[in-house]
Amino acid sequence: MTRWTPMTGHEYNLKFAAVDLFCYCTGMNHDIAFLKNQARQLNIALSNGQLQQFDVYKNELMDWNAKTNLISEKSARDILARHFLDSLTALRYITPPDARIIDVGSGAGFPGLPLKIAQPSLDLYLLEANRKKVSFLKHIVRLLNLSSVDIIHDRVENIIRENVYQEKFDVLISRASFKLPQLCSFCRYFLTPAGRLIALKGPGVEAEIQKCFEDRNPSGIYQLIQQPIEAPFLNSTRKIIIGQR
């Protein structure tokens, strides 16, 4: 699979200069111009309407975060890079375009909501146990007028015990909420027989991968592939783990 090549420092400075010029010529918000430019590096073309949705999402997240601890990052640029763009790195691995996805441990909506904004045809379910985060999710989904988004306020183990969503999803996705062995165990319940696990992870994930296959692999995941993410907006090593049933 394709590996993204990072720009040099000189190239990155030129990229910011281009963003400044673009903002001056179009009157576009500098942060949103940055998002549009960097999304293009991921081969994602965001329309003006989608960029406006991201702008609203960013502003609401900052307002809510001042009162409720939704995320640790405080600045707009951190939100764009470490949450929106980081989430969008998973889009190329999601098939089909109208896939039914469950985002397990969604928090403030990552990675599910950025993916939904960029690919509106997705059928998205956000599973989150924290009441305050669920309140934010309901608010932002309503404000952005997103259709085909279901918010489930519950814990994973309760959902599995209730046996409502067994083999209902094409993709199970998660970002830093659970260890890989836990995610693999969820796959047996949530995913269709041909379903896919997508986990956004930091460095040092190899031990988690090894743990998944130490036992008898009851999850049914027979393959885990690491995809390194190298992008100039990320200041840390990131990997996407793809698991296939």
Asked if the 47-244 domain carries CATH number 3.40.50.150, the reply is yes
Percent of the chain predicted with pLDDT > 90: 62
pLDDT at site 194: 92
Alpha carbon of residue 15 to chain centroid:
24
Do residues 46 and 35 make contact, with C-beta atoms less than 8 angstroms apart?
Answer: yes
Q: Which of 107-111, 118-122, 218-222 has the lowest mean pLDDT?
A: 218-222
Rounded to whole angstroms, how far apart are CA atoms 94 and 173? 10
- Helix or strand holding residue 104 (H, E): strand 100-104
More confident residue, 140 or 224: 140
Domain boundaries, the chain: 47-244
- Token pair, residue 243, equals 């698991």
pLDDT at residue 97 greater than cutoff 60: yes
pLDDT digits (tens, 9 = 90+) for 155-192: 999 999 998 999 999 999 999 789 999 999 999 899 99
pTM for this one?
Answer: 0.86
pLDDT in tens, 43-70: 999 999 999 999 999 999 999 998 888 9
Locus of tokens 């996407």: 240
* Helices 131-143 and 48-65, packing angle to 10 deg: 150
The model's confidence at residue 223, banded by pLDDT at 50, 70 and 90, is confident
